[in-house]
Structure 1
Amino acid sequence: MYFLILIHADLAETLIKNFSDLALRGSILMAITLTFPTDLGFMESFIYPSFHGVHLKTVVRDSMLFHPDKCVDDILRVVRICNNMCCNWLGKNSMILLVPIATLYPIYQLISLLILMLRLTFSMLYFLLWKFLAVTVPPIKNMEKKKKEYKEAKKILSLICDRIGTSNDTYTMPLIEAVRKGIYEVVDEILYTSPSTINCKDKEGYNILQLAIINRSEKVYNLISHIIDHKMSYRRRNDSYENNLVHLAGRLAPSFVLGRTTGAALQLQRELLWREEVTKLLSPKELLSENIYNETPTMVFTREHQDLMKEGENWMKTTAESCSITAALIVTIVFAAAITVPGGSNQESGLPLFKNKIPFTIFAVFNAFSLFTATTSLLLFLSILTTRFSEKDFLVTLPRRLIFGLSTLFLSTMGMIVAFCAILFLVFCDQRPWMLALIAAFACLPISVIVCIKLPLLLDLIQSTYIPIFGQQSYLESCKVNRKTTIFKE
């Protein structure tokens, strides 16, 4: 059945509508849950055009300018503010200066309309360009196919849940499996169709909140966060071993969850973020409670993550050492280039012979820039190697130092290459400008290598450190959640 969804979505939809017994089988919903396609990733979402969303937001926001009541209120508000300011500066007879403000509003309205039309035109052109690239460029074609499969799967999922209705027995296993795998679309649709399934438990007695914490399903956790605010029993419910929610967050995440994050240090950072988030749900007294093994949540976290912490320390040291070697080489090269003046110096004044040349000025500026940024990068990497590597350091301190160290290393490499290209142009390309193209082509080679090797790591660090994983929901999801909130209130 699910094969039809991916290959012939229209045919699968027709079969479900005409043969309702297919949808009533729990195996169909479980099959969809196990093979539900993923949405676009972090980087893919920046490239993929949200055509409908751009138009909707643009029209809603800019159309407010053309509401007469709102326009009058805005004009009067501006007149009052300007009047008060002018009275303070110019005196009480300054009201005559405010007369043109009301007459200028039609011009402002016309300019806003032109801006709206330009924005819609550019978004339309971008959308048409994307559709052209989706046919000719294989990576973008795969991205378009992935997005299409995701939309079709959501459509079929909604149709099946509507056919099933509010049958709890059919939803139990697919809901539990969706929570474990972090498929928040299935969880959202099931909870919206059958709100009473919020009380479902697995064979070990864990509810969906506990399962979301154990399996680190942040999207599911964000989806049911409003339920946590209204159901106090969910926060204080312990398992058979007297483990509260923070005890469960202290467990080591499953291997398939850890594998989603690059590097042991970032894996430990993600575990620390989960512990901090779940800690907010309980009172300070509950954070010190012990399970049947007389372990507090802190003791559980330390015991479960001691191996991961050692791996994270080794990973961080290895990365810092390799980058510090590169930074040291750059410092050596650019420092030697700074004290060795290209072209020589004047024997009488000691000034460089090429001091009035623009390429020499570019060389001097970028060489100094490369020296300073490489030195800063080297100091940052050395500070990583000499840190104490405690648990809290992996949360923000160490990733932030590595981010700034890698950023300054990129900048120093680019500055060194620009300085080298400038001096090559000055020395060799005076009479042969065609050599500039060769120099620029060769200069792109080391830049592309370092970008391909280190840029993915830098992006992963920035995403893991500065982009929150909790409390993030799209507009449509938040609308559906708000409609369900009143149902789950105690």
Structure 2
Amino acid sequence: MLFLFAIAIPDIVLDFLHRCPRFATTMNEVLRTNALIYLSKMPQTFPSASRLAFWQRWIYSCIPMQSIATTDDNVRINMPDQSLSESKNIILQVSSKLRGFAINLLAFLGIKQIYDLKKIHIYSDKILRCMCEYISTLDYEEYIKADVHRAFHKAARNGMVEFITEVVKACPHVMTSADGNARNLFMSSIANRQEKVFSLFYGLESNRARFVCLMDISRNTMLHLAAKLSPPSQLARISGAALQMQRELQWYKEVESIVNPTDKDFLNQNDQTPREIFTYDHKDLVVKGEQWMKEAATSCTVVGALIITIMFTVAFTVPGGNVQETGYPVFKDEKSFTVFIVADAISLFSSSTSVLMFLGILMSRYAEEDFLKSLPTKLIIGLSMLFFSIAAMMVTFCAALIIMLDGRLQVIIPIVLLATIPVTFFMWLQFPLLVEIFVSTYGPGIFNRKMKRWY
């Protein structure tokens, strides 16, 4: 099979398709598949379906790639000169060792893997364009025989935006095709929670209306499909049942905003409205989300309460004690004492705020709509204030040491460095969760409503 070697040797596949483009749609009668269908099952070969972290995306964008030579390009091959002097041979050997060390270092840092991924993406794009160029020349019978629409809908289920757009450019009529469940491109993207494919809807401009009113084989509208529970593979991408519930609500609200108002109460084959389906399918996820929120809030409440107790006590047991005659602190005129008392107040007030937020989470009613904004917002405020309180508590501790040790830096500096360890560990463990919740709640969203016209 042609594409069994696509990832390992994409350059050979590209060259082969340039020479024999008909193999793109030549059907294997035993497996009932061809190269185009096989490519539609490989989402990892295209950028839109790749799941990269923020820092990986940054590295990906910074990696330079040379243009890929095709069969029409002139390729120059440099042969090594056998008559090199001994000194030049030594230089070549050293440079080869350094190059090997650099490659191993890049592999250790994960940069080489990102480079290889980008290389595969570029080759896959070239291969896809080569296939689509040939597909555009097929007549109707050849198009049916090639089973282009099956490859198209597999790509939609796998979230392969590049595949979809290129095939549509080659065969515009594929946009009106449906899969085995009578679902069009956008209905399939909703059912499989492929937000990048669904965002193509916003690039249709005047052609949107004809897709909104369609139903599948079970008389489900777009909103019915959005009301169903996401596939487990898509839910697994999101950490925490509460955030999973939030994502489900975001999908439902997004689709609800584009459908006709009458579709909100439309009955499907089982006489169910979209809202009834959503409530029934998500009742277990609501329970899990409530449990996840309460466990997180309980753990953080204990930490916050301990900080409140410590900081309140510290405010009345200042380092150095008080003057007997006046009752004022001995070091009240020292700058380090000002830092001490301000940091103590910040830690006390921020930890008190965090505890109140977490108590609000524990006492929430946990309705479906609460998972969209209310609960995540309380968790964001609670975690943020807890971070501030722990950091301020460490500053308070360091300021107290400076006062008591009277500026002995050889002791103060190591202790201060050690004091940063718990703050660093806490941030390292919890800060990614805080960022994920904030981006999910107040970020730009998973849908691109500013999609440019592409069809």
TM-score normalised by length of structure 1: 0.76
Give the deviation of 1:13 after TM superposition.
Answer: 2.0
C-alpha separation in 2, matches of 1:287 and 1:133: 57
1:164 aligns with 2:141: no
SS of the residue aligned with 1:434? helix
Confirm or deny: 8 A CA contact 1:355 1:361 kept in the other structure. yes
Give the alignment partner of residue 253 of structure 1, picking from 209, 230, 254.
230
Identity between Structure 1 and Structure 2 (%): 33
Give the deviation of 1:136 after TM superposition.
Answer: 7.4
C-alpha separation in 1, matches of 2:406 and 2:150: 72
Give the deviation of 1:277 after TM superposition.
Answer: 1.0
Confirm or deny: 8 A CA contact 2:21 2:130 kept in the other structure. no
The residue aligned with 2:40 is 33
Structure 1 residues 331 and 155, CA gap change in structure 2 (3 angstroms): farther
Unaligned runs of 5+ in 2: 27-32, 65-101
Give the alignment partner of residue 109 of structure 2, picking from 133, 138, 147.
138
Q: What are the Cα deviations for residues 383-412 of structure 1, in whole angstroms up to 9, with x where unaligned? A: 011111111111111111111111111111
Q: What are the Cα deviations for residues 447-470 of structure 1, in whole angstroms up to 9, with x where unaligned? A: 122112211211211121122435
C-alpha separation in 1, matches of 2:354 and 2:195: 34
Unaligned runs of 5+ in 1: 54-130, 486-490
Give the alignment partner of residue 431 of structure 2, picking from 455, 462, 473.
455
Structure 1 residues 334 and 47, CA gap change in structure 2 (3 angstroms): farther
Q: What are the Cα deviations for residues 340-375 of structure 1, in whole angstroms up to 9, with x where unaligned? A: 111111111222112222222211111111111111
The residue aligned with 1:201 is 178
Confirm or deny: 8 A CA contact 1:218 1:469 kept in the other structure. no
Confirm or deny: 8 A CA contact 2:202 2:448 kept in the other structure. no
1:388 aligns with 2:395: no
Structure 1 residues 398 and 14, CA gap change in structure 2 (3 angstroms): same
Confirm or deny: 8 A CA contact 2:241 2:289 kept in the other structure. yes
The residue aligned with 1:405 is 382
Give the deviation of 1:149 after TM superposition.
Answer: 3.0
The residue aligned with 1:18 is 19
Give the deviation of 1:306 after TM superposition.
Answer: 0.8
- Aligned Cα RMSD in Å? 2.6
Q: Which has the higher helix share?
A: 1
C-alpha separation in 2, matches of 1:19 and 1:46: 35
The residue aligned with 1:154 is 125
Q: What are the Cα deviations for residues 237-259 of structure 1, in whole angstroms up to 9, with x where unaligned? A: 12233222111111111111111
Confirm or deny: 8 A CA contact 2:60 2:118 kept in the other structure. no
Q: How many aligned positions are there?
A: 401
Give the alignment partner of residue 195 of structure 2, picking from 218, 243, 246.
218
Structure 1 residues 199 and 136, CA gap change in structure 2 (3 angstroms): closer
Confirm or deny: 8 A CA contact 2:43 2:159 kept in the other structure. no
C-alpha separation in 2, matches of 1:39 and 1:254: 18
Structure 1 residues 393 and 434, CA gap change in structure 2 (3 angstroms): same
1:350 aligns with 2:327: yes
Structure 1 residues 308 and 471, CA gap change in structure 2 (3 angstroms): closer
SS of the residue aligned with 2:262? helix
Structure 1 residues 145 and 466, CA gap change in structure 2 (3 angstroms): farther
Which residue identity is paired with 1:322?
S
Give the alignment partner of residue 221 of structure 2, picking from 211, 230, 244.
244
Confirm or deny: 8 A CA contact 1:313 1:389 kept in the other structure. yes
The residue aligned with 2:79 is none
Note the 1:121-136 alignment, pairs <5 A.
135=106
